[in-house]
Amino acid sequence: MSVDRWNTALVLGGIRSGKSAFAEELVADAASVRYVATAVGAEDDPEWMGRIEAHQRRRPQTWSTEETGPDPARLAAVLAEAKPDETLLIDDLGGWVAALLDPANQPQDDVAMVAALAEAVRECAGRVVLVSPEVGLSLVPATVVGRAFADALGTTNQALAAVVDRVALVVAGQHTWIKAAAGRPRPAQQLVAPSVEPTPVQPATIQSDFSDISDIVFESGMDLPMPDQDAGPDAHDRLGTLDLTGAGLGALGEAVEFAAATQGTVTPQPWSAVRVLLLSGTHAGGSGAGTDPADVDRRVAEAEAGTGPLIRLAGQAGADVAVVRAAGSGAMEDGPVLDAGEVEAALRHGWQLAAAARADGKDALVIAACGTGAEAAATAVLAATTGAEPVAVLPRVLAAGGTIDDNAWMVRCAAVRDGLHRIRTKSRGALDILAQVGGADVAVATGALLGAAAHRLPVLLDGPVGIAAGLVARDLGSQARHWCLLADAGTSELVQQGADVLGLTPVTELGLDLGEGLNALTALPVLRTVIGLAGALPTHPALAENTD
């Protein structure tokens, strides 16, 4: 199964729609791919042969190619032979249908052949992506042969769409998922105008299911990519030349520079497909003092049901939400909160979440959190990695109605103090910090930041868990922090001090304290506006003349 929790996918699209390129992106994370080519009869058609060769040039050298040729039964056999660790890319079913209808293969039961193929896809042990032309949007063909082909291909597409986990439609290089796998978040509704009431997001819960990504080794010195080191500064310089009546974008220009660097262009585009990762973890012991677990469960359940403030803001921002229930963590004052295996599993889970977001076409992540004891865990991580004084950064404990619970805050302080005292002589490497005081939610967030950097996916932070994860990720792969943007620091001293260590400056200073993830979603429309404006505005005419 893929890290995105699906095993089979069908990619539909018209001629030159970009369907093959998108299908190739879906399997890009596989160590090797068996490319199953169905095209036949290109020997006497130079133009068709040119298309085949263009596909061949795109394939990595690690891929192998198998041709099913003129025998339509061969494709089902290839699927039946696939091993659980294999990834197959079948491109495309139009060639298979053409072979099926070839007079040389008649007479035969075409309906039975389609049913056999669908069953082979359903039962395939490997991971399968199938590409197929979508013919249902064109005119009814004028010839008998043309109508037979369209009918057969339409029947084949319907049969396969019924058995695969996911179906995507690609138009003009843009894809949309028209069938989602069970357990995957459904996209939020886009607002068509500010006055329109947002349609609630209907996310699904992603349980802690760690697929095998054994090639990744989480250790200090991980080799991750950096954003474009020229595009950001060049975009910053360009801001001073824009045709504006005022003095410029102010502090918001940093969002433009960040978007330019992470997109590798001087004129970046505003993020259009954002995923929110809502991490919910439970920390035992004094870390959770003053927090009502039932209230936390209520808020997480609201998000899962598509209601609540986070979902509303996500809907307004056109984002989708993945609710991630992390494993429970122990009491830091009593001993390690996770063992080494649990740390590794949580990191891999986070990495997979980032990889899944990129595979789904997302262009930015937002880290959100709602749990028990997460703020104390983040405080301990900050103190352990930077030497910060816990009592100066541990957030106050708010009870219902906004009242301050000082007794609960002191219990949390004691838990952090005792946890740090317990590890005073122990190793403080990144993995050790997660095991001793960080916990599963911080570890999942850390893996997500590392995975996002690896997949060149920018991340918006605004709260304690995201900042704590950034500090740990920095010690594993220093490049990770360069893919992070502090949308707003809110009122948290913990976030502000941690961000200073990471070299992150808040782009907005709205003084919000809505909860982790909600501050960033509130600022997101403004960030999108300035990024889009900066990319669209021309150079001031007077400056343009001086450059001629």
Assigned token pair, 92: 């495309």
| 361 neighbors 175 (Cβ within 8 angstroms) | yes
DSSP letter for 282, please. B
Residues in the chain: 548
With tokens 């491109």, the residue in question is: 91
DSSP per residue, 1-66: --TTS-SEEEEEE-TTSSHHHHHHHHTTTSS--EEEE-----TT-HHHHHHHHHHHHHS-TT-EEE
CA atoms within 13 A on the CB side of 217: 5
With tokens 């919910």, the residue in question is: 280
First-residue to last-residue Cα distance in the chain: 57
* Whole-angstrom distance, CA of residue 91 vs CA of residue 129: 9
| 268 neighbors 535 (Cβ within 8 angstroms) | yes
Q: Which are the catalytic amino acids?
A: 55
351-to-217, 431, 452, 457 alpha-carbon distances in Å: 11, 15, 7, 12
Report the interhelical angle of 374-386 vs 406-422 (nearest 10°): 40
Residue type, 299: R
Taking alpha carbons only, the member of 264, 372, 280 closest to residue 321 is 280
| 337 neighbors 439 (Cβ within 8 angstroms) | yes
* Whole-angstrom distance, CA of residue 513 vs CA of residue 391: 19
- φ, ψ (nearest 5 deg) of residue 303: -65, -40
